[in-house]
Amino acid sequence: MGEGDNKVSVKSCCDPLTFSIRVFGCQMNVYDGDRLRGAMNSLGWSEMENALDADVAIFVTCSIRDKAEQKVISELGRFRPQWERYGRPSVALVGCMAQRVGESVARRFPWVKVVAGPRRLGAVPASIAASAEDGRTRIILDEDRHGTEDLHEMPVSRGRPHKAYVTIANGCDQFCSYCIVPYVRGGFSSREPEDILNVINGLVSAGAVEVTLLGQNVNSYGRDFCGVNGAYRFAGLLSDAASVSGLKRLRFTTSHPIDFGQDILDVMSSDDAGNICPSINLPVQSGSDKVLREMNRKYTRDEYLDVVGRIRTALPNVGLTTDLIVGFPGETEDEFLDSLSLIESVRFDLVHSAAFSPREGTPAAARTDQVPREERARRLAVINDVQFGISKEINKSLEGTTCGVMLDDPAPRVEGLLQGRTVTDKVVLVRAPSEMTGEIRSVRITGSTAWCLEGELI
Ligand code: SF4
């Protein structure tokens, strides 16, 4: 929230209504937050930085980990003194956590006046306005796993004008045994291609030079289409999106190994527009066939390695990252070592590793053979240690090369440095004036750590 003090401005009845917005979790939530911001502005509401100065604080929430939900609960608790004294701000709880536990949260914190699941985003602005008018609580949850009441709002007001995110599909039907997403975000449904391409065109016209296509499993885009778009898949969308005039960089996340077909690689390797970034996050989750089966990932270690081989053949300079869970219920030491050996043999640029964290309501959480917390932590430390060495070696090998870097923001903690990204999604720190933010510049790499590169403008 950023409220260091307890000062609250006193509103007159003629002041415009105000909102604040806070996003927890993934980029899909950032995208939803940007669209909600635009929709609230269109209704004539003004945005406040400090939630305690607003009439309504909007929380776009995440349920992936218990920690993300606990953070929201603790933020909600901090509203009590202001609510009891001034009757504001009320809260609109939106997204995955709202879908999962929003009703009980609203009972516990009476200032939560709107609860809306992630597929009911389109109903949120009007519900906030109605609740501000009559003070009543509105609970709008996703009851239809495949239905969507979307928000048709262009996310033009964004934190970084040069970078934009576009959700291309909602929900997931994979039901990995540890994951809460299919329960809170509902079934997989693709947005219409025309809709997505219109949004990308609009974003580029509004100044975006990089767009990232988002979904829980972007590679299965179009699987649910029939009729006129029946044969239109992710490869087609990628190719069409890359053709949007003025778009300099196109990325996508997240991928799933079972849907990463050769057609996608063909589009990426031919890349006529020259703007599809050779950067892929391909979650493996485990290197053990038994654990993969119990995770319901639907591929084997060899099948995963086959996809990696095809990717590296098609895109020799690809930036490849993965997600990995250690300490899944029943994971033996040998099965953990299978994950370790996979990490060592693939040599990813980066591994997003996590110790298994049970999510209530998933099959994995109900298992009785949980790996003790300390052992999960030990395995995580081992993986991180090995990957640290690999990332360091890969980054060291890039010293002396030149690359295009999109300069994104001031680097944290160091005056005069901007941080940016290469097409392979490596972070680069460069001494450059802040006016260059949003530009793509040629940079010579002069130094490196396991986490980032350092460079100088050419
Ligand atoms: S693919 Fe698996 S891990 Fe990813 S969102 Fe779907 S169920 Fe969750």
Q: Go through the domains of the chain in sequence order and give each one's CATH number.
A: 18-140 (3.40.50.12160), 160-277 (3.30.750.210), 309-397 (3.30.750.200), 402-457 (2.40.50)
CA of 286 to the centre of ligand 1 (A): 14
Residue written as token pair 């899909």: 28
Q: What is the pLDDT of residue 161?
A: 85
Q: What is the pLDDT of residue 9?
A: 53
Q: What is the pLDDT of residue 13?
A: 58
Pocket probe for ligand 1: among 26, 145, 167, 176, the residue whose CB has the most ligand atoms within 8 Å is 176
- How many residues belong to the chain? 458
Q: What is the pLDDT of residue 157?
A: 62
Instruction: State which ligand 1 atom lies nearest to the alpha carbon of 285.
Output: 3
Q: What is the pLDDT of residue 286?
A: 98
CA of 359 to the centre of ligand 1 (A): 13
Protein residue closest via CA to atom 8 of ligand 1: 179
Q: What is the pLDDT of residue 4?
A: 38
Q: Which residues line ligand 1 (CB under 6 A)?
A: 172, 174-176, 179, 181-182, 216-217, 256
User: What single letter denotes the amino acid at residue 197?
Assistant: L
Instruction: State which ligand 1 atom lies nearest to the alpha carbon of 179.
Output: 8
Per-residue pLDDT of the chain (458 residues; tens, 9 = 90+): 333 344 455 555 567 899 999 999 888 898 899 899 999 999 999 999 999 999 999 999 998 888 889 999 999 999 999 999 999 999 999 999 999 999 999 999 999 999 999 999 999 999 999 999 999 999 999 888 888 888 877 766 667 889 999 999 999 999 999 999 999 989 999 999 999 999 999 999 999 999 999 999 999 999 998 877 778 999 999 999 999 999 999 999 999 999 999 999 999 999 888 999 999 999 999 999 999 999 999 999 999 999 999 999 999 999 999 999 999 999 999 999 999 999 999 999 999 999 999 999 999 999 999 999 999 999 999 999 999 999 999 999 999 999 999 999 999 888 889 999 999 999 999 999 999 999 999 999 999 999 999 999 99
CA of 179 to the centre of ligand 1 (A): 6
CA of 177 to the centre of ligand 1 (A): 9
CA of 241 to the centre of ligand 1 (A): 24
Q: What is the pLDDT of residue 3?
A: 38
Instruction: State which ligand 1 atom lies nearest to the alpha carbon of 256.
Output: 1
* Of 108, 129, 106, 162, residue with least CA distance to 40: 129
Q: What is the pLDDT of residue 431?
A: 95
Residue written as token pair 């219109």: 198
CA of 293 to the centre of ligand 1 (A): 14
**Region label for 210, one of left (φ > 0), alpha (ψ between -120 and 50) or beta (otherwise):** beta
Q: How far apart are CA 417 and CA 384, in angstroms?
A: 27
Q: What is the pLDDT of residue 1?
A: 37
CA of 350 to the centre of ligand 1 (A): 20
Instruction: State which ligand 1 atom lies nearest to the alpha carbon of 180.
Output: 8
User: What single letter denotes the amino acid at residue 250?
Assistant: L
